[in-house]
Structure 1
Amino acid sequence: MPTNRRPLLENWLTRVLGTADFTLAHAAADAGARSYWRVLAGNRSRIVMDAPPASNDLAPFLAIAALLRDAGITAPEVLAQDTVQGFLLLSDLGDRTMLQAIDAGADPEPLFEAAIDALVHMQGIAMPTWLPGYDASLLERELDLFPDWYLARHRGITLDTREQAVWFDARTRLVNAALAQPRVFVHRDFMPRNLMPMQCADQGGIGVLDFQDAVAGPIAYDPLSLVKDAFRSWPLERAESWLRRYWERARAATLPVPDWPGFLRDADWIGMQRHLKVIGIFARLKHRDGKAHYVEDVPRFFAYLAEVLPRYPEFDEFAAVLARITPTRSDP
């Protein structure tokens, strides 16, 4: 937290809580400018979001939090807000994410079961008209992060004329495929780091965080994000077993998923879009925002791409371009 915001936050909390007798402990930070702090006052724990207003708009978070909670999804309750200063006081869903629980040795199977249940529930939400669409412009801007930030800025690579044509062909195919999928509520970062195992007797299952960028978009996006995590990889067979489990439950819930081969293709292709986007985002975080550690996970995404590209001959030329530039672990 910037030092000039700490007094503002403490003064606001004193007014909201009605006491200055509280402690603040860092809880989490994300890739943006937001940070999260655990507020302990008496025997109660809450979370405060610090979202500097110059770089954050709290309106989407507030609207989507209400949408999720009204639909019965476990999401933080907004207890107090100051959108001018950029502070939210939220209910505390716990101090260990699904990813942290797995890294600490928890059995991933029941956690993925709960996450899949929450996802199917979330995708059944009737989408409000104000929810932004995952349209062609947004898909293209995200994909362009790969050549602009990863290739050009991070690696100093310039594609030749033929390679540029291959890139634009792949880009067009991925955008068109994404737009052709059935549209549902899309969290856009539905992965174990943003999911909270709930242990309370009245709150089983999984809590959902970091949903402020949600859109109406391709049905395979969030299931793919869940099993092809940004910070932990699973064997392809296991990831696809979870993906099929999602598909079975989605069909049982009458969500608009195609047959299994069609859904797997949709997941593979929207996965390519996400993997390329995230590679570009991680490079931008290093070079624009000074957050260098994210690029250490870039090889994971090239590995994800290499897993599925051989399935689709229409991407053979693109796969050859990627093979030339795939980084080693020593040079992400």
Structure 2
Amino acid sequence: MSLTPLNGDAGFRCYFRVNCQPTLLAVSAPPTHENNRAFVDIALLLRGQGVHTPAIFAVDYQHGYLLLEDFGDQLLLPLLNAQTVDALYLKAESALLAIQRAGVGAHAIPPYDSRRLLEEMQLFPEWFVSRLLGVELGEGERQLLEQGFELLLDSALSQPTVLVHRDFHSRNLMLLENGDIGVIDFQDAVTGPLTYDLVSLLRDCYIRWPADVVSRRALNYFRRAVAADIATPVSDKQFLRWFDLMGLQRHIKVLGIFARLYLRDGKAGYLHDLPLVIRYTLEQLDSYPELDNLKRWFERRVLPAVVEQPWYQPWQQAGDSLREPL
């Protein structure tokens, strides 16, 4: 029996394929860095709701070892194009509905509260603006950011609360041999805003779709959520506002996370994804007049420093070449 190392993720987990029949995945997940009990608990919770998470065959909590079902290598991302997007996203959205139907009950799943949401957004000025771009912020600029962050917090906390995967996108979804969607990397799940996972999927940091496709799919999903008693009806305008501002919160956070992955963890590959995240950020800032001051600040202080970076590409076209237009 042998172990073949596999590419990992943005965390500290290492994966090895065991050449038994059927193959299995051996995982080294250091307990000082990874919450393995949360992984197991949430995997069981989601499997009970019909979500295809990896079956768990053995766990050593003390040393951080797990033996899991092997989902194979077929991530959703390379399969996505103009011809496949509707069918594959329909499957992914059905998996998301099942996740959001999962009652947390006695499970100790933390809330996606204002403290956690704000801490995430603070990664942007610290890691992206100051450390990566070298832009030093004045007190007035920090106050401007705080005002924008408060608006995003208010929108997030006004939404219906559901179980949130927290990283629900095309690199954490797999197409299994039986045609089901396999869901991975869910150990950081929280209870929080209805639109968080949906915007992670439809405004994916690794692939971009036209705005009309995104809004159509978002509204169709909302109607399915209402029909499933996950959400109560609101106007399309209100739902899309929740969706847009939730996406802005996520992309502000991701700019900080990708910068940190490079500067702290030496993972330079994420730098090439920054232009698309910048594009999403500016598009949503442009959509809401109450964020005009933040948009103008971003254009005046952030974009000139971005242009000087070795990873820079024009953000206005970022993501356009990934897939054929629909």
Structure-1-length-normalised TM-score: 0.88
In structure 2, give the amino acid aligned to 1:250: A
Instruction: Work out whether 1:270 is the aligned partner of 2:249.
Output: no
Give me the whole-angstrom Cα distance separating, in 2, the residues matched to 1:210 and 1:259. 33
**2:189 maps to what in 1?**
214
Matches within 5 A, 1:1-332: 22-41=1-20, 43-102=21-80, 107-129=84-106, 130-200=108-178, 204-257=179-232, 258-324=234-300, 325-326=302-303, 327-328=306-307, 330-332=310-312
Residue 125 of structure 1, CA deviation: 1.1
* Cα-to-partner distance string for 1:301-322 (whole Å, 9 max, x where unaligned): 1100122222211100001111
Give the superposition deviation at 1:186: 0.2
Write the distance in 2 (CA, Å) between the matches of 1:176 and 1:159: 24
Deviation at 1:25, TM superposition (A): 2.0
Question: Percent identity of the aligned residues?
Answer: 39
Which residue type is aligned with residue 323 of structure 1? E
Contact 2:170 2:201 in 1 (8 A): yes
Q: Partners of 2:255 and 2:137 in 1: how far apart?
A: 17
* Residues 112-169 of structure 1: per-residue CA shift (max 9 Å, x gap): 0100111112101112341100011111110000001111111111223332221110
Structure 1: gaps (5+ residues): 1-21
Alignment-mate amino acid for residue 223 of structure 2? E
Question: How many angstroms apart in 2 are the aligned matches of 1:116 and 1:138?
Answer: 25
SS at match of 2:204: coil
Displacement of 1:100 in angstroms is 2.7
1:198 to partner: Cα distance: 2.4
In the other structure, the counterpart of 1:7 is none
Q: Distance in 1 between matches of 2:152 and 2:37?
A: 30
Question: Aligned pair in 2 of structure 1 residues 147, 83: CA closer, same or farther (>3 Å)?
Answer: same
Which SS does the other structure have where 1:172 is aligned? helix
Distance across 1 between alignment mates of 2:154 and 2:30: 36
4+ long deviations beyond 6 Å? none
Give SS of 2:25's match.
strand
The CA deviation at 1:238 is 1.8
- The whole-number CA distance in structure 2 between the counterparts of 1:154 and 1:231 is 20
Q: Between Structure 1 and Structure 2, how many residues are aligned?
A: 306
State the 1:205 CA deviation: 2.8
Decide whether aligned partners of structure 1 residues 54 and 255 sit closer, same or farther in structure 2, where only a CA change above 3 A counts: closer
* Amino acid corresponding to residue 31 of structure 1 in structure 2: A
Q: Where does the alignment leave 5 or more consecutive residues of structure 2 unmatched?
A: 313-326
Q: Is the 8 A contact 1:100 1:193 kept in 2?
A: no
CA distance in 2 between partners of 1:70 and 1:189 (Å): 20
Residue 46 to residue 253, structure 1, CA distance change in 2 (3 Å): same
- What letter corresponds to residue 271 of structure 1 in structure 2? G
Tell me the distance in 2 between the aligned counterparts of 1:211 and 1:164. 32
Task: Give secondary structure in 2 for the equivalent of 1:191.
Answer: coil
Q: State the one-letter code of the partner of 2:173.
A: L
Pairwise CA distance, 1:209: 0.5
Q: Would the aligned equivalents of 2:271 and 2:311 in 1 still touch at CA under 8 Å?
A: no
Q: CA deviation at 1:53?
A: 2.4
